[in-house]
Amino acid sequence: MSAPTATAAAGPLAGTTVLDLSRALAGPHAGMMLGDLGARVIKVESGVGDDTRRWGPPFVGPQEDPQATYFLSCNRNKESVALDLKDAAGRGALEALVADADVLIENFRPGVMDRLGLGFEHLHRLNPRLVILSISGFGHDGPESHRSGYDQILQGEAGLMSLTGSGPDDPQRVGVPIADLLAGMYGAYGVAAALTERERTGRGQVVRTSLLAAVVGVHAFQGTRVTVAGEVPRAAGNHHPSIAPYGLFRCAGGQVQISVGSDRLWDSFVEAFGLSGRVDGLATNADRVRDRERLIALVEEAFAAYGPEELLRRLDDAGIPSGRVRTLDEVYAWEQVESQHLIVDVDHPVLGQVRLPGPAVRFFSPEGEEVTRLEHSAPPTLDQHGEAIRSTAAATAARPAEVLR
């Protein structure tokens, strides 16, 4: 890995350099995760920049230089350089950067990198230690590898929408671009593994994932219902298909969620709400799943005497996992979220200080000292660091070939 500078960020990937050629969300999310872990991430953009710079509204900032909040969501802890990869000078600058990089991320359609003269074999000749993360929509081979992959298309094609909604005839997408986000997460996980293997072998490799693979990879018990039990699961609203009672229930003036995940918890629930004389035939989880409609009616009848706050206190006293449904503004105002460093403050060159959703992983020494990266940089403006990065690339390109690694 390249040597860290005096100002390098903390984190387990400090000293690692990542070239992020990706755009939209899956690749940029992977790059942001690596940056959160301390890597230096250089975002390589075309002359007009990442598509998400124009995805909105909402836009914020001055009318003459509006900033898309979509772009801000997936590009913290990065530098930006604009390079035209269809031009010899742009390709040459990228090749010089590759010589000193540890990781390259791309999410072009399969074959585009080859057409640009930047095929993976060529990149590895320039730098045999390079780890390449390549993310596609439907996979890099197979009969439908040529198809463009956008999140909602893959949520449908990979079965997620058939499991989401009020019922079988109401398919719904997840409220965030989950196929993109999962592909980025799987990609970052693959990069971390490849960097670890490189310490043993001295060689980089190509890590491939796709939006299709990412969604299928999280089918979990719904997948084995198909492959093992031969069942075809369908959307079942806000109640768990295999555990009961587990879901969203009405109460006086609102709703609460509960998760009664064991028969021991069920016994506690029955005692707390005085239901012992009314639960014949509901002793086991399998019984409760089979008689779900009767169970829901019984629970909501018991909850009808309580408002949400009082009910949540009563459930907590009884040891029953429970919670409310918060809006996002409530989430970001929640003291618990703040305590977990899930909000970070950054100084943006156009917007000034802004608050962003933060990284989901923290690191501690065995003595309990936090060694997580706590200082973050704002998502860059287009080509914000271009002059310095192009100067570095030119200096690298001028070095004798034998000094290049």
**Which residue's entry shows tokens 């499991």?**
163
Q: At 264, phi and psi to the nearest 5?
A: -65, -45
Strand spans (E) along 220-276: 246-251, 254-259
Give dist(CA 197, CA 217) in Å, integer.
Answer: 23
Give dist(CA 56, CA 401) in Å, integer.
Answer: 45
Q: Tell me, yes or no, if 280 is annotated catalytic.
A: no
Give dist(CA 343, CA 357) in Å, integer.
Answer: 5
Give dist(CA 35, CA 188) in Å, integer.
Answer: 10
| Residue tagged active-site, from 180, 291, 345, 347 | 180
**∠ Cα 357 359 360 (to 5°):** 110
Contact between residue 50 and residue 75 where contact means Cβ atoms under 8 Å apart: yes
Structure tokens at 405: 């690694």
Structure tokens at 107: 């999410």
Nearest to 348 by CA among 328, 378, 375: 378
> How large is the angle between the packed helices 263-272 and 308-317, nearest 10 degrees?
120
What's the order of all strands across the beta sheet hosting 131-136?
79-82, 40-45, 17-20, 103-106, 131-136, 206-210
Dihedral angle sign, alpha carbons of residues 235, 238, 244, 246: positive
3-state secondary structure at position 344 = strand
Q: 288 burial class (0-12, 13-18, 19+ CB within 10 angstroms)?
A: buried
Contact between residue 43 and residue 79 where contact means Cβ atoms under 8 Å apart: yes
Q: At 209, phi and psi to the nearest 5?
A: -150, 175
Q: At 322, phi and psi to the nearest 5?
A: -155, 165
- Which DSSP string do the residues of 365-395 spell out, in sequence order? -TTS-B-S-----PPPPTTTTHHHHHHHHHH
Contact between residue 104 and residue 132 where contact means Cβ atoms under 8 Å apart: yes
Catalytic (active-site) positions: 180
